[in-house]
Structure 1
Amino acid sequence: MNRSSSHFINHVTNLPVTEAIDRVEQAVQNMGMHVFARINHSAGAESVDMPLRPTQLILFGHPLGGTPLMQAQQTIGLELPLKILAWQDESGQSWLSYPNISQLAKLHNVEVDESVTRLQDVLSKVISVVNEASH
């Protein structure tokens, strides 16, 4: 199942949020990329006594992937590094979501070329690896 918009892409996962983001982190590292940060939004909300369903964000990448886009238009650096959000909806279903890199490139007036396609493919591949491991 896939609930997406033109700006982001959502993929259902059978894993709980923490396990899903753990597997994203492992897949990213296995693909030779760097994990820059992992943010537990729900823990942050809990720290100020506010409810939030499980929600975690991971930021990752590699200079070979993002640099060509920033060479074309430095403002696309606002969208980098790559990110995947693991979150749970109101029904308890877990999702993995990531930005539509082609749309972000257009927003920053960057030509949608092989550099953009390659980053979009990396995001798709990470999700595939995570979901294959969950079956």
Structure 2
Amino acid sequence: MQPGIVSKPSRYSVDEAVAKLEAILHEKSIKLFALIDHSGEAAAAGLHMPPTKLLIFGNPKGGTPIMLAAPTAALDLPLKILIAEDPQGKTWLSWNDPTYLQRRHNISPELTQNIAVLETLTKTLIPPEV
């Protein structure tokens, strides 16, 4: 485990987890800014990479106040979730820990609540025992 990163196993394949997370974002009116298919781009370059996709998303009403208070937070916003398959075929969800981002950019606890949605967004993708 790396400091500042939360990683949790998914109960779904990469593509299934991506589809489910896209649906959750849509349902909650959270804008999906980009979906980067790292493994697809690797394949296009003639390289092999296990399924690996990055979703970049957010809500300007939540992120803008943070970036106004701490402009360097724009380095880490919008929010991102990496969905990747490990060498054993297990899918993992990874994201920046909001507490880490709070310390990194000196964000107030009140504003940190604006980015503390990642656990909620991913809870249905993670097995209940985790």
Q: Could you say whether these structures have the same fold, taking a TM-score greater than 0.5 normalized by the shorter chain as the test?
A: yes
> Equivalents in 2 of 1:10, 1:101: separation in Å?
13
1:90 pairs with 2:87? yes
1:78 pairs with 2:84? no
Amino acid across the alignment from 2:103: K
Question: Could you list the per-position Cα deviations for residues 62-109 of structure 1 after superposition, in whole angstroms to 9, with x for gaps in the alignment?
Answer: 011111211111110110111111000111100111111221221122
The corresponding residue for 2:15 is: 18
The corresponding residue for 1:29 is: 26
Gapped runs of 5+ residues in structure 2?
A: none
Amino acid across the alignment from 2:60: P
1:43 pairs with 2:44? no
When normalised by structure 1's length, the TM-score is 0.87
Question: Could you list the per-position Cα deviations for residues 6-59 of structure 1 after superposition, in whole angstroms to 9, with x for gaps in the alignment?
Answer: 311011112110110111111111111101000100001011111110000001
Q: 1:129 aligns with which of 119, 124, 129?
A: 124
Q: Specify whether residues 129 and 31 from structure 1 end up closer, same or farther in structure 2 by C-alpha distance, changes over 3 A only.
A: farther
> Equivalents in 2 of 1:64, 1:72: separation in Å?
13
- Greater relative contact order (Cα < 8 A, sep 6+): 2
Gapped runs of 5+ residues in structure 1?
A: none
Do 1:27 and 1:129's aligned partners in 2 also have CA atoms closer than 8 Å?
Answer: no
SS in 1 for 2:57: strand
When normalised by structure 2's length, the TM-score is 0.90
Do 2:11 and 2:125's aligned partners in 1 also have CA atoms closer than 8 Å?
Answer: no
Instruction: Tell me the number of residue pairs that the alignment of Structure 1 and Structure 2 aligns.
Output: 127
> Equivalents in 2 of 1:39, 1:108: separation in Å?
25
Amino acid across the alignment from 1:109: N
Identical aligned residues as a percent: 32
Over aligned residue pairs, what C-alpha RMSD do you find?
1.4
Amino acid across the alignment from 1:115: L
> Equivalents in 2 of 1:108, 1:6: separation in Å?
15
